Amino acid sequence: MKVSRRGFMKGMGAVASMTGIDSMMAKCAFAAEQAKAAAAMQPAGVMMVKSTCVQCVNFCGIEAKLDNGVIKAIYPDKMRAQYYNWGICPKGATGLFNTYNPYRLKKPLKRTNPNKGMNEDPKWVEISWEEAFQTLTDKLAKVKADNPDKLVWHHGHGKYLIGDQFPKAFVAAFGTRNLVHRTTTCEAARHVADENTWGGHGHLPDLEYTNLYLSFGSNPFEGEQWSRWLDHAIVDGKERGMKMIVIEPRFSQAAAMADEWIPMRPGKDVVFILALAKQLIDNKTIDTDFLMTYTNAPQLVGDDGRLLKGADGRPLVMDVSGATKAYDDPAAKAQLTGSYTVDDKVYHTAFQALVDDIKDMTPQYAEEVCGVPAARVISLAKEIATAARFGSTLVIDGQPVRYRPVASYTFRGLSAKEFGVQNNRANLILNMLIGSMDAAGGLLLGHAMGHLEFLEPSKCEYPPKRVDLAKSVYYPHATHECCQQVQYTVNDPKVYGLGYQPEVQIFYATNRPFSTSDAIKQQDGMKKTWNCVIDITMTETTQFADLVLPDRTYLESWHFSPTRSTPGTKHSAIRQPMVNVYNIPYEGMSILWELNKRLGLRDAYVDALNKKWGLKKVTFQKGRDYTSKEMVEVLWQDKTGKPFDYAMLNAFVGKKINVKDRYLHSIEKGCKGPGKQRIKLYADHLVDSYANVVETVKANDIKNIDLEQYRIAYLPLPSKEHAFPTPHREAKDYPLYLITHKRIYRNQSGYMAENAILNQALGADVAENHIAVNTATGKALGLKDGAMAVIETRVGKAKGKVKLTEGIRPDTIAVSYHYGQWSLGMPDYAKKGIWINQALELHPDRIAGMNSFNDTKCKLTKA
């Protein structure tokens, strides 16, 4: 019998309302019984169900084939191909193995061994959901009555499983300021660079029209990114004749696809980019019109680093007449370069400040620092200039738009760094110089000047309010809820001036003691608090948990699922349950609902949900309960205006973006003309942020801030100092650079290490990772291919198998993330490979709070 999706959902709906499987009114034990009954009532026959894969951040559309209620195969949803997603990856195709995984968590667990540690058996005891909720509610009620900030909520992948909004609404209703998530381990430095440059964040290369694509350590094809749209847009671009140059220390899959691989020395990109900038400027091959119209390049800067402003506070420019004028005076003919005396003081244009800043960035200097031949710096600058087609326009659908078909793009390659913000600012400045921002074929910015507050200096508060020290004097522009500082602060709040000791931590789909740098030290904080973990398998985090709650997987639960918009499309999607393999009665969304209810916060939660989700037409109502399905229905209807039946059949609705919205809505609206803020080529407000750091440190006699390092971090322009992160300066006895990266066969950590296909069927190379060592380096160190070696850094050691390759710089080794799990709750086959994070130094960016993952230096020796 073949059953349609609509028929199936009707059946499920009937089961749900009849048995209360999804109903939060039900008592826990009762719900579990009913879940079993529901599972037994799966319809017979073959059926196709559309949904969204949420095993990584790409949210691919999927179509699953069920046979008698059992998932037999997962295919890509062809309907989404025209919008963003053409196919699925090995993880997506084998995702059912993560759901049918026999090592899944099935019942709530209570720890009975009070000692926490890597080798401590927690001595779990199974408990009922009722007892689990009661324990958690009691703990939370106590904390709430005392000081709600003593609760710290963490989510990692959880951000995508149920969105940021549900947890954010919960902490708002509860009253704690302490919610942290994973963005600060991903790309927060890039977001903060965007925010401090153009007042918003998020940008994408316009690959449909790009002719020259520079990729600085963005890792598509391996670390899948942006809905795999990036992979396909790159392939399509290349078929059209686009040239792609990959600049990074390692021969990545992207490098394998590229026309050229430039093996950059780790962490030195900023010098390379500034050397390119100098060449472009010296050769007079820059987009002057762009700089004058959209950026603060002509604004005057004093010797104190600040902008010269008129009586009304508006920044001034130097008119060709020799008088200053307001930057946005339509009558002004401003100078782009030069130094001028105003009221007996010397001022330079911001552009001149850049020219002076990079005067030493010769091709020879770039060669010395970055290990890239000087001749290639010179020739690449020429290539960029030719490809940029200065002054040209392209007519698309009858609309002329600026045409600068060169895009310089990056992701964690420049962001997962101690100077991540400055690295990314350098890349933005390169795009500014060639005028590629918001041009056809260039770099498209999300919503320029949508948040002008990002362009203001930080108040550098002290004492800090939040456990992650965000926006405090420690991380003044940390706007993305830094997670990796938390355990240090929890371990010793007084050192940071935090006025309270956190008591309870909840971890929802995140694996912090495995995923952060200097990971072993991170465990100390978790030993001090009572911890609840919500996951689908045992992990390194459960090793430190007091209570563990099982969750349903992405194939078992509802969500108004995210998608990734692309330069040309926007969409909405849902995720829907198709099985419930272990009859688990709750999942992320319903756990939160139940908690709020038991804490007496249900109506406050409803208010917060409406606000966080920005609901307008259809909203959550007070005084009633919602099943997870009903919550998704509210969200779908408000966001799409379409009936929910449509969602259950198609799981997706998409639309194409018109030319105006694509090219003329961002900087054209936000940065051009009178009264509009200009893009900050020169980030003058960082000078004031630094001054506020100095003042706060002095006023409070703060001992653990190195002001000289803050001065360097807060320079208003990226500079050569930003190519020398702490380990590069200090770890003199450690000769090799150590970098890490993603692999296509894993998403992060935890559950996927237990997927039998990805661990057994695809062979040994997939089941583990290795140390990539240049052949010449291996020979010099007496290391043969396959030999065991020890990586030693200033913070730890990691042992693993060597893979000799030409695909890495001789002064660098690379180890992928994801492998070498050690949780006692995992089967041995999931533990293969190297856990590199125990050996990575942690140096958060002093602007963004984003962690450095790729700055460490090491020794390599035969094991």
Ligand X SMILES: Nc1nc2c(c(=O)[nH]1)N[C@H]1C(S)=C(S)[C@@H](COP(=O)(O)OP(=O)(O)OC[C@H]3O[C@@H](n4cnc5c(=O)[nH]c(N)nc54)[C@H](O)[C@@H]3O)O[C@H]1N2
> For residues 3 and 791, which CB has a smaller minimum distance to ligand X in the complex?
791
Q: Which of 256, 223, 181 is nearest to 410 (CA)?
A: 223
Q: In angstroms, how far is the first alpha carbon of the chain from the final one?
A: 59
Q: Is 647 in the site for ligand SF4 (CB under 6 A)?
A: no
**DSSP codes of every residue in 586-626:** --HHHHHHHHHHHTT-HHHHHHHHHHHTT--SS---TTS--
| Smallest distance, ligand SF4 to C-beta of residue 205, A | 19
> For residues 291 and 370, which CB has a smaller minimum distance to ligand X in the complex?
370
> For residues 348 and 809, which CB has a smaller minimum distance to ligand X in the complex?
809
Interface residue list for ligand X (CB under 6 A): 56-57, 156-157, 161, 182, 185-187, 216-219, 223-225, 247-250, 252, 264, 266-267, 269, 411-413, 508-512, 515, 534-537, 539, 551, 553-554, 739-742, 744, 746-751, 817, 836-837, 840, 853-854
| Smallest distance, ligand X to C-beta of residue 466, A | 18
Residues 6+ positions from 152 with CB-CB distance below 8 Å: 176, 178, 179, 180, 467, 486, 490, 502, 504, 505, 506, 529
| Smallest distance, ligand X to C-beta of residue 702, A | 29
Q: Tokens 């997506």 label which residue? A: 92
> For residues 227 and 541, which CB has a smaller minimum distance to ligand SF4 in the complex?
227
Span of 84-92, 212-220, 298-306, 314-322 interacting with ligand SF4 by CB under 6 A: 84-92
Residues 267 and 856: beta-carbon distance below 8 Å: no
Q: Is 561 in the site for ligand SF4 (CB under 6 A)?
A: no
| Smallest distance, ligand SF4 to C-beta of residue 411, A | 15
Q: Is the peptide bond before 463 cis (omega within 30 degrees of 0)?
A: yes
Residues 848 and 470: beta-carbon distance below 8 Å: no
b vs e for 842-852, b when ≥16 Cβ sit within 10 Å of the residue's Cβ? bbbbbbbbbbb
User: Per-residue string for binding with ligand SF4, 36-65, x by CB under 6 A?
Assistant: -----------------x-xx-xxx-----
Residues 221 to 250 in contact with ligand SF4, rule: CB under 6 A: 224, 228
Residues 770 and 102: beta-carbon distance below 8 Å: no
- From ligand X, ligand SF4, Mo ion, none, interface partner of 53 (C-beta below 5 to 8 A by class): ligand SF4
| Smallest distance, Mo ion to C-beta of residue 558, A | 24
- From ligand SF4, Mo ion, ligand X, none, interface partner of 486 (C-beta below 5 to 8 A by class): none
Distances (CA, A) of 760 to 754, 757, 765: 10, 5, 10
Burial class (CB in 10 A: 0-12, 13-18, 19+), 321: exposed
CA distance 221 to 743: 9
Q: Among residues 92, 577, 727, 833, which is the contact residue for ligand SF4, using CB under 6 A?
A: 92
> For residues 249 and 457, which CB has a smaller minimum distance to ligand X in the complex?
249
> For residues 185 and 299, which CB has a smaller minimum distance to ligand X in the complex?
185
| Smallest distance, ligand X to C-beta of residue 159, A | 7
Residues 6+ positions from 233 with CB-CB distance below 8 Å: 205, 207, 208, 566
| Smallest distance, ligand SF4 to C-beta of residue 612, A | 24
Q: Is 573 in the site for ligand SF4 (CB under 6 A)?
A: no
- From ligand SF4, ligand X, Mo ion, none, interface partner of 287 (C-beta below 5 to 8 A by class): none
Q: Among residues 563, 747, 748, 823, which is the contact residue for ligand SF4, using CB under 6 A?
A: 747
| Smallest distance, ligand X to C-beta of residue 695, A | 33
| Smallest distance, ligand X to C-beta of residue 746, A | 6
Task: Fill in the DSSP letter of residue 802.
Answer: E
| Smallest distance, ligand SF4 to C-beta of residue 624, A | 34
DSSP-derived 3-state class of residue 497: coil
CA angle 847, 848, 854 (to 5 degrees): 105
Phi, psi of 342 (to 5 degrees): -130, 125
Token pair in block for residue 221: 């094809």
| Smallest distance, ligand X to C-beta of residue 593, A | 15
- From ligand X, ligand SF4, Mo ion, none, interface partner of 854 (C-beta below 5 to 8 A by class): ligand X
> For residues 93 and 342, which CB has a smaller minimum distance to ligand SF4 in the complex?
93
Q: Is 71 in the site for ligand SF4 (CB under 6 A)?
A: no
- Long-range (24+ apart) CB contacts under 8 A made by 337-346 are 340/300, 342/300, 342/308, 342/316, 345/302, 345/303, 346/302, 346/303
**What is the SS3 assignment for 428-491?**
HHHHHHCCCECCECCEEECCCCCCHHHHCCCCCECCCCCCCCECECCECCCCCCCCCCHHHHHH
Token pair in block for residue 174: 């509860």
Q: Among residues 24, 49, 89, 350, which is the contact residue for ligand SF4, using CB under 6 A?
A: 89
Partner residues linked to 652 by β-bridges: 573
> Is the torsion defined by CA of 116, 482, 700, 503 positive or negative?
negative
- From Mo ion, ligand X, ligand SF4, none, interface partner of 228 (C-beta below 5 to 8 A by class): ligand SF4
Give the count of residues interacting with ligand SF4 (CB under 6 A).
13
> Is the torsion defined by CA of 780, 782, 786, 792 positive or negative?
negative
- Decide the pairing of beta strands 504-508 and 530-535: parallel
- From ligand X, Mo ion, ligand SF4, none, interface partner of 554 (C-beta below 5 to 8 A by class): ligand X
| Smallest distance, ligand SF4 to C-beta of residue 55, A | 4
> For residues 43 and 202, which CB has a smaller minimum distance to Mo ion in the complex?
202
| Smallest distance, ligand SF4 to C-beta of residue 817, A | 15
Partner residues linked to 70 by β-bridges: 67
| Smallest distance, ligand X to C-beta of residue 384, A | 17
CA distance 825 to 124: 10
| Smallest distance, Mo ion to C-beta of residue 709, A | 26
DSSP-derived 3-state class of residue 72: strand
Token pair in block for residue 31: 């719900």
- From ligand SF4, ligand X, Mo ion, none, interface partner of 856 (C-beta below 5 to 8 A by class): none
Q: Among residues 9, 12, 88, 416, which is the contact residue for ligand SF4, using CB under 6 A?
A: 88
- From ligand SF4, Mo ion, ligand X, none, interface partner of 88 (C-beta below 5 to 8 A by class): ligand SF4
| Smallest distance, ligand X to C-beta of residue 274, A | 14
- From ligand X, ligand SF4, Mo ion, none, interface partner of 553 (C-beta below 5 to 8 A by class): ligand X
Interface residue list for Mo ion (CB under 5 A): 186
| Smallest distance, ligand X to C-beta of residue 677, A | 29
In what helix (H) or strand (E) does residue 697 lie, and over which residues does it extend? helix 684-700
Residues 477 and 196: beta-carbon distance below 8 Å: yes
CA distance 796 to 461: 34
> For residues 440 and 836, which CB has a smaller minimum distance to ligand X in the complex?
836
- The residue nearest Mo ion at its CB is 186
> For residues 327 and 554, which CB has a smaller minimum distance to ligand X in the complex?
554
> For residues 186 and 547, which CB has a smaller minimum distance to Mo ion in the complex?
186
- The residue nearest ligand SF4 at its CB is 92
Q: Which of 468, 478, 618 is nearest to 195 (CA)?
A: 478
Within 10 A of 615 (CB to CB), how many other CB atoms are there? 17
Within 10 A of 108 (CB to CB), how many other CB atoms are there? 25
- From Mo ion, ligand SF4, ligand X, none, interface partner of 264 (C-beta below 5 to 8 A by class): ligand X
Q: Is 755 in the site for ligand SF4 (CB under 6 A)?
A: no
Instruction: Report the interface residues with ligand SF4, using CB under 6 A.
Output: 53, 55-56, 58-60, 88-89, 91-92, 224, 228, 747
